[in-house]
């Protein structure tokens, strides 16, 4: 009895305020839009790119050298440069340092050998060089892949529901997930690699699964009130999302010290899933409920 009363209070509150709740994602989206416009005007791009997308040299030195001292000593000689440290998963000891620079491999090798005082060989280091032309081409292809995937996702949604407003609600929620996640990635100063672009491709799938579940149950869920259908969808959907979130968060905590690539993927997915909760259970729910109430 008490549980029913609590559900009725929640339903009554939602009936009165679901349109007002739309202000939360709307304000966040407007902030994200303003920030992204400003970011693009300053940087000429929508993301910070690492050398896999701009071109340059990546050097892994298998020695626990100090990155602070390294940056102070050779930073000016290597142009744009960044470092990452790799630690042993079991002992927590620093195992290697990754130096990424826009300089060519020969210049980077000469400068680093002078700083370290010994020759860099395949036994104590590894070098990877990516040309700027190849990186730019690869970057454009990845962007095309994301746009194509989003368009095909939108087409599938329209084919499933054959109704403009519910389909647009799903697509808007998915777009907001991706866009807001991209803004947070920029705010955190994360340099996007090819792995990060792939993470956004994965995020498209994560963004629409609960939206499709909600929309399908609300429009085709048979008998029952709108609020009861929303509640049932919420119980299933939030369980799906939180399960994925927990698994990805644990994976992030495990790999962050020794795998920069996996760390970036999991970081983007964690941020995206948080926005997915917001946009599914506020944005999409409110738009669908508004649509169903008007249809009645």
**pLDDT tops 90 at residue 95:** no
Same domain for 138 and 219, yes or no, is yes
Same domain for 88 and 9, yes or no, is no
Q: For residues 52, 53, 54 and 59, what is the CA-based torsion angle, rounded to 10 degrees?
A: -10
Which position has the token pair 């697509």?
171
Q: Which domain holds residue 264?
A: 2-49+133-295
**pLDDT tops 60 at residue 1:** no
Report pLDDT for 4.
64
Same domain for 77 and 187, yes or no, is no
**pLDDT tops 70 at residue 174:** yes
Handedness of CA 84, 88, 92, 96 (dihedral sign): negative
Report pLDDT for 295.
76
Q: Does the model's pTM come out above 0.75?
A: yes
Average pLDDT of span 231-256 = 91
Report pLDDT for 3.
58
Closest CA to 79 of 69, 87, 71: 71
Average pLDDT of span 225-248 = 91
Average pLDDT of span 242-266 = 88
| Euclidean distance between CA atoms 189 and 186, whole angstroms | 5
HSE (CB half, 13 Å, CA atoms) of 184?
Answer: 19
pLDDT bracket for residue 41 (50, 70, 90): very high
Report pLDDT for 246.
95
Residue-wise pLDDT for 175-220, tens only, equals 999 999 999 999 999 988 888 998 999 999 888 989 999 998 888 7
Kindly give the residue spans of alpha helices, DSSP state H, lying in 162-224: 164-187, 194-220
- Of 32-41, 81-90, 118-127, which has the strongest mean pLDDT? 32-41
Same domain for 39 and 64, yes or no, is no
Report pLDDT for 148.
92
**pLDDT tops 80 at residue 296:** no
**pLDDT tops 60 at residue 19:** yes
Report pLDDT for 221.
66
| Euclidean distance between CA atoms 16 and 296, whole angstroms | 17
Same domain for 126 and 142, yes or no, is no
The proportion of the chain whose per-residue pLDDT surpasses 70, expressed as a percent, equals: 95
pLDDT bracket for residue 238 (50, 70, 90): very high
Same domain for 119 and 138, yes or no, is no
**Per the structure, how many domains does the chain have?**
2
**pLDDT tops 70 at residue 52:** yes
Better pLDDT: 132 or 48: 48
Residue where a domain stops, chosen among 130, 152, 177: 130
Average pLDDT of span 63-90 = 79
Q: State the CATH number of the domain containing residue 80.
A: 3.30.70.330
Residue-wise pLDDT for 108-157, tens only, equals 888 888 888 888 888 888 888 877 666 778 788 888 989 999 999 999 99
Assigned token pair, 247: 């698994």
Same domain for 9 and 41, yes or no, is yes
**pLDDT tops 70 at residue 100:** yes
Same domain for 92 and 212, yes or no, is no
Report pLDDT for 15.
82
Q: State the CATH number of the domain containing residue 237.
A: 1.20.1640.10
Residue where a domain stops, chosen among 85, 107, 130: 130
Across all residues in the chain, what is the average pLDDT?
Answer: 87
CA distances from 210 to 15, 146, 253 (A): 21, 20, 25
**pLDDT tops 90 at residue 40:** yes
């Amino acid at each position: 009895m008490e549980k029913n009363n609590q559900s009725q209070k929640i339903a009554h509150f939602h009936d009165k305020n679901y349109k007002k709740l739309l202000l939360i994602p709307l304000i966040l989206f407007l902030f994200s839009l303003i920030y992204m416009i400003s970011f693009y005007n300053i940087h000429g791009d929508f993301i910070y790119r690492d050398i896999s997308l701009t071109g340059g040299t990546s050097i892994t030195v298998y020695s626990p050298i100090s990155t602070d001292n390294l940056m102070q000593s050779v930073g000016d000689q290597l142009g744009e440069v960044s470092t990452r440290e790799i630690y042993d998963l079991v002992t927590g000891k620093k195992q290697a340092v990754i130096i990424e620079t826009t300089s060519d491999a020969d210049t980077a090798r000469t400068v680093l050998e002078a700083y370290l005082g010994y020759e860099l060989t395949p036994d104590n280091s590894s070098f990877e060089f990516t040309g700027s032309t190849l990186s730019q081409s690869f970057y454009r292809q990845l962007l095309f892949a994301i746009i194509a995937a989003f368009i095909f996702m939108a087409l599938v949604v329209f084919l499933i529901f054959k109704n403009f407003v519910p389909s647009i609600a799903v697509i808007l929620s998915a777009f907001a997930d991706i866009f807001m996640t991209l803004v947070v990635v920029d705010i955190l100063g994360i340099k996007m690699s090819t792995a990060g672009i792939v993470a956004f491709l994965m995020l498209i799938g994560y963004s629409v699964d609960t939206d499709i579940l909600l929309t399908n149950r609300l429009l085709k869920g048979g008998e029952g009130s709108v609020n009861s259908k929303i509640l049932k969808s919420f119980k299933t959907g939030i369980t799906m999302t939180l399960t994925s979130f927990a698994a990805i968060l644990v994976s992030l905590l495990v790999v962050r010290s020794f795998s920069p690539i996996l760390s970036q993927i999991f970081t983007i997915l964690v941020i995206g899933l948080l926005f997915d909760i917001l946009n599914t259970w506020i944005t999409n729910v409110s738009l669908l409920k508004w649509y169903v109430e008007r249809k009645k």
